[in-house]
Amino acid sequence: MYVAVKGGEKAIDAAHQLLAEARRGDVSVPEISIRQIEEQLSLAVDRVMNEGSLYDRGFASLAIKQSRGDLIEAIFLVRAARTTLARFGYAEPLDTAKMQTRRRISAAFKDLPGGQILGPTFDYTHRLLEEVMPLEAAQLADQLVVENMPKVLGLLGDEGLIEPALPSATTVGDITQDPPSFPMPRDERLQSLARGDEGFLLSLAYSSQRGFGRTHPFAGEIRLGEIEVSFVPEELGFEIVIGEITVTECEMINQFKGSADVPPQFTRGYGLTFGHCERKAMSVALVDRALRSAELGEEVGSPVQDEEFVISHSDNVQATGFVEHLKLPHYVDFQSELILLRNLRKEKAAE
């Protein structure tokens, strides 16, 4: 029987109608609101903002709803929205020491100025599947917020035990405006990692912990909190605060054996993410350090140390696009392969 190959338009419309129905699910169950997603699935929102490279909780929540909770699809939606936004300049660099810190832990020192603050964390919960109890307003815990908490790595820096964190000598790059080229400077690498897929970076970071490009990490400091974003409009010529964002920062302390010119000292791996994305921030810090292997004169041979491999494959919007493009029609190419293969087989049979 001849299968109709025309009528794609009708088929697409019908498919999208089915998608809308599948998205809604059983209509006897109340529909979730964007605000509910924003408030109650806040870590999914944070992930979508990070990999979507856009700090907008509302957009991210809407994207999660629209994508039926498929976070890579939601990230894709946010990226697509982001690209339409006008750019009017670059914010001033954040000074994370000025963060209103809600969580701050160091695995390197038992106690230190500012103390250890656990804050809102899954850490030390027992993963026993149980009903989430409704929370009464009266039960709300006091949230400890600390301002101007000293940076842990700064304490080591005072003794010269860790490499200094120097500002970049040149203008900071922008991977959204300029196509990537290799070798890539660290600022651009960190930008790529910031929007990179959490799962991919997590696995790479894990591989380095298991010996494929070892980096000897200690979680020097992980902090979570709110920080003001400032901007200098050209017409004003001075800094104004344009908003406040939540960020997670991870500074890893890594070993370094030293070289002919530099005595042994600790080195840094750095990760910064929007919202509360601790797993991602830690993974970025580990991968950042691994990608510095060549710069620090270390043996390079593992996937996590290969800049081109890591950076070229970390973007899940790119990756999902290309992997899923295999669903597109390839009739013409396939037909030419069929012809070729049949000919080759015929020649073989004739021999």
**Which residues are 243's β-sheet partners?**
229
Q: What angle do CA 201, 82, 17 make, to 5 degrees?
A: 95
Shortest distance in whole angstroms from residue 206 CB to other proteins: 9
Among positions 160, 243, 264, 297, the unique one binding other proteins when judged by CB under 8 A: 264
Shortest distance in whole angstroms from residue 185 CB to other proteins: 29
Six token digits for residue 148: 């101007």
Amino acid at 73: E
Whose tokens are 């999208």? That residue is: 16
Q: Do 305 and 203 contact (CB within 8 A), yes or no?
A: no
The Cα–Cα gap between 275 and 184 comes to 26
Number of residues that bind other proteins (CB under 8 A): 27
Shortest distance in whole angstroms from residue 118 CB to other proteins: 7
Amino acid at 263: P
131 binds other proteins (CB under 8 A): yes
| Residue nearer to other proteins on the CB measure, 105 or 311 | 105
SS3 assignment, position 225: strand
Could you tell me what percentage of the chain is helix, strand and coil, using 3-state DSSP and rounding each to the nearest 5? 40, 15, 45
Among positions 87, 127, 346, 348, the unique one binding other proteins when judged by CB under 8 A: 127
Amino acid at 38: E
Shortest distance in whole angstroms from residue 237 CB to other proteins: 34
Task: HSE, CB side, 13 Å, CA atoms: give it for residue 122.
Answer: 7
Shortest distance in whole angstroms from residue 203 CB to other proteins: 14
| Residue nearer to other proteins on the CB measure, 47 or 214 | 214
Six token digits for residue 132: 């989430």
Shortest distance in whole angstroms from residue 225 CB to other proteins: 19
Q: Which residues, numbered 280-339, are part of the site for other proteins (CB under 8 A)?
A: 302
6 binds other proteins (CB under 8 A): no
Shortest distance in whole angstroms from residue 38 CB to other proteins: 26
The Cα–Cα gap between 2 and 4 comes to 6
23 binds other proteins (CB under 8 A): no
Give the binding range for other proteins (CB under 8 A) out of 26-34, 120-128, 179-187, 194-202: 120-128
Shortest distance in whole angstroms from residue 127 CB to other proteins: 4
Residues 202-221 as x/- pattern, contact with other proteins by CB under 8 A? --------xxx-x-------
124 binds other proteins (CB under 8 A): yes
DSSP string computed for 292-343 = TTTTTT----SGGG-HHHHHHT--HHHHHHHHHGGGS--HHHHHHHHHHHHH
Among positions 9, 26, 123, 136, the unique one binding other proteins when judged by CB under 8 A: 123
Among positions 25, 58, 150, 233, the unique one binding other proteins when judged by CB under 8 A: 150
99 binds other proteins (CB under 8 A): no
109 binds other proteins (CB under 8 A): yes
- Residue 316: closest CA among 193, 213, 227: 193
Report the run of H or E that residue 282 belongs to, with start and end: helix 278-291
SS3 assignment, position 252: strand
Shortest distance in whole angstroms from residue 126 CB to other proteins: 5
The Cα–Cα gap between 197 and 203 comes to 10
Six token digits for residue 54: 């856009």
| Residue nearer to other proteins on the CB measure, 212 or 231 | 212
Shortest distance in whole angstroms from residue 281 CB to other proteins: 16
Among positions 118, 161, 165, 344, the unique one binding other proteins when judged by CB under 8 A: 118
Q: Which residues, numbered 155-184, are part of the site for other proteins (CB under 8 A)?
A: 155, 158-159
The Cα–Cα gap between 37 and 319 comes to 26
CB within 8 Å of 154: residues ≥ 6 apart? 97
260 binds other proteins (CB under 8 A): no
Interface with other proteins (CB under 8 A): 109-113, 118, 123-131, 150, 154-155, 158-159, 210-212, 214, 257, 264, 302
